[in-house]
Amino acid sequence: MRPPLDLSLYLVTDTGLCGHRGVAPTVAAAVKGGVTAVQLRDPDADARTLFSLGRVIQAELAGTGVPLIVNDRLDVAVWLDADGVHLGQRDVSPETARRQLGHHAYIGLSVSRPEQLAHVPDTVDHLGVGPVFPQSTKPDADAPLGLGGLAQIVRESPLPCVAIGGIGVSEAAAVMGTGAAGIAVVSAVCGQPDPEAAAHSLVRTLRQEIPA
């Protein structure tokens, strides 16, 4: 049985925002700062490029206990023998992902509206809920839920929810106040001059909101 995934500070990579520093060094620094899970996301990369990047990130994560989740690309997740995959509503089904990745893998699913909860299969481990606030890293994202919409989904969901979309230090406390299991961040870490310090600042805020 796989242990519960620590969703408290979930980093989603952005190759453009990582810039000259690079994705893998950004991930390594962020993990030092307290990131608990890493999702590899680059919708513009081909499968070979994403696989190569995933291998480098796996090397950075080795021995840290921080899992690597692949966004959307089940094929790359399988090739990497990644810790899991995160799927959108229009990606391959969670049932297919479970068959290909096995029972040890974590499977996340994006949800942006309360009515989607009725169609979440029991092969899913957690939900990515958002966008909560306006954001710029995913141009095709749905309209922001706001804190009220997030709270409704968290309340009605049978699964842990990690909130995503426009969340930084100043928003983290209010987001956690909805009962979310954690926050997923992109620009709040990848777009910062010091990813380790940025992650550490988020962790300090989260520790004030998550009961011991």
From the candidates 41, 98, 112, 157, which is the catalytic residue? Answer: 41
User: Where would I find the H helices in the chain?
Assistant: 15-18, 23-33, 47-61, 74-80, 94-101, 146-156, 169-176, 187-190, 195-209
Dump strand ranges (E) for 105-166.
106-111, 126-129, 161-164
From the candidates 8, 73, 98, 110, which is the catalytic residue? Answer: 110
**Is residue 32 among the annotated active site residues?**
no
How remote is the C-alpha of 193 from its chain's centroid? Answer: 21
Which residues are annotated binding-site positions? 71-72, 91, 110, 138, 166, 186-187
Q: Give the residue carrying structure tokens 């408290």.
A: 8
**Is residue 110 among the annotated active site residues?**
yes
Which residues are annotated binding-site positions for Mg(2+)? 72, 91
**Is residue 138 among the annotated active site residues?**
yes
Active site residues: 41, 110, 138
